[in-house]
Amino acid sequence: MARPRKPTNVLELTGAFKKDPQRRRQDAESAGELTAPPPHINGAVLHAWNEIAQYAPRDVLTDSDRISLEIAANLLAQFRADPAEFPGAKLVRLEALLGKFGMTPADRSKVGGKKEAPKGNPFADL
């Protein structure tokens, strides 16, 4: 099975287009920054939504990810309610969703974030 494509904003954050600017592609525009959770969720699911949104790497989650985030929040709330009885298939799905949001160590390393340019000339003292 082929590796899934990384979103353009993730490639841009990691600096992939600085090396190969001709590879920049036109992805569908996202719906903008993540807004408030939907009004129909509450309780433990709402708490899980806010926690995932808070701890996800900056500029990764957008309003286009609301449905995936809602599924992940529901699964996380179910897991926390009874971890011993939580089915393995649901746990795998939860881990996959969190990974796609850049919330595991390996996946977080793929979302580098914006790096600041070094200040000054490092060779000035030589």
The 3-state DSSP class for residue 90 equals helix
Residue 118 pLDDT = 60
Side-chain half-sphere CA neighbours of 8 within 13 A: 10
Distance, CA of 46 to CA of 44 (rounded, Å): 5
Buried b (16+ CB within 10 A) or exposed e, 61-86: bbeebbeebbebbbbbbbbeeeeeee
Q: What's the pLDDT tens digit per position in 102-122? A: 898 888 777 654 455 566 777
Q: What's the pLDDT tens digit per position in 40-64? A: 999 999 999 999 999 998 888 888 8
Domain residue ranges in the chain = 9-15+35-110
Q: What's the pLDDT tens digit per position in 2-31? A: 887 777 777 778 888 888 888 777 655 667
Residue 114 pLDDT = 47
For residue 88, what are the contacts with CB-CB under 8 A and spacing of at least 6? none
Name the pTM for this structure.
0.68
CA pseudo-torsion sign 64, 8, 76, 50 = negative
